[in-house]
Amino acid sequence: MSNFLAAYSIQSWLESAPQGYLEHTEYGHAPGEKEPALILDNPVMRAAAIRTTVQLVVGERCALAASSGLINSAPDEASKRFLATQTIDEARHVEVFTQRLYDLGVRRSELEDALKTHANPHLVKFAEVLLEKVDQKDFVAGVVGQNVILEGMAFHVFELMHAGNQAVNPKFSHTLSGVIADERRHVGFGENRIGSLIRESPERKPEVQRMQRDMSYHMLATFAAAFQDTSERDEMERITREAEQRGEITRSGTWQGADLRALPPAEMEKLLSGTVLKEFKTRLERIGLEYQTPPAP
Ligand SMILES: [Fe+2]
Ligand SMILES: [Fe+2]
């Protein structure tokens, strides 16, 4: 427990995040960095960037509601303090991704409408399953849903986006790297804290596992919608390829050993869901839960 206390204290949070990798950043990126012209000047690219960023805001609003909501049901003081640091991390994530929407030209007065219009319905469901547990003050299910499932998913989605944006959009990829560092800390807490609680109340397992199955289902359905092969996607690929041929951008990006430039959307979806589910399995096993395979969406 003492390692746990030190690793998840407010002191170590201050040293690693605000005084560490977030120092001298502005909304998570270097001051003055801008979205690339390739996105800002092209309506198709800009609309796609807005839609993607909306999903990030929706996911982070859920994480904010979950981490703050779990503070009062946490059984020990150290967990409450950690969740307080996580709450500000998640609020920051909401803020930096909302700021990106403004940077992409969404007006402040249009923000809620944009979120409503573009939020993936399955992502909304995914959040509801988790927040129901949080509202019931169910700490064990809440932490599994938030710090294992939601954040296990978010971590890989952010890493994939980071790999794809590193060369073409340094601003966004810098924002993502700070968020990724935060998520790594949150995921670690979930695993470290919840294992002992599951061992103390094994009777909770079936219900927590059912929640995992439901959340995994909605996650896969969200991915399926996000990677759908559309004419817009072809158009984006064409625009990017042409910019590359003109020498305006250099695409790069390998993730999980795959060259992202050569990967068709269906393959990318398979790689992402496979990676996330594999990690769910490993991490659930470590905390004493059995992974439940969701039905195919
Ligand atoms: Fe987050
Ligand atoms: Fe998080």
Q: In which residue ranges of the chain is pLDDT below 70?
A: 1-2, 4
| Cα 242 to middle of ligand 2, angstroms | 36
| 166-186 residue pLDDT tens | 888 999 999 999 999 999 999
| Cα 44 to middle of ligand 2, angstroms | 30
Give CA angle at 251 (248, 256), nearest 5°. Answer: 170
| Total-model pTM | 0.95
| 188-245 residue pLDDT tens | 998 888 888 998 989 999 999 999 999 999 999 999 999 987 888 888 888 888 888 8
| Cα 258 to middle of ligand 1, angstroms | 25
| Cα 214 to middle of ligand 1, angstroms | 20
| Cα 60 to middle of ligand 1, angstroms | 5
Cα 150 to Cα 26: distance, rounded to the nearest angstrom: 26
| Cα 233 to middle of ligand 1, angstroms | 27
- Tell me the ligand closest to 91's alpha carbon: 1
Q: Is 20 helix (H, G, I), strand (E, B) or coil?
A: helix
| Cα 147 to middle of ligand 1, angstroms | 10
- Tell me the ligand closest to 61's alpha carbon: 1
For residues 85 and 68, the answer to whether their CB atoms sit within 8 Å is no
Cα pseudo-dihedral 77, 62, 177, 10, rounded to 10: -10
Percent of residues, the chain, with pLDDT higher than 70: 99
Q: If you search the block for the tokens 């390829």, which residue do you land on?
A: 241
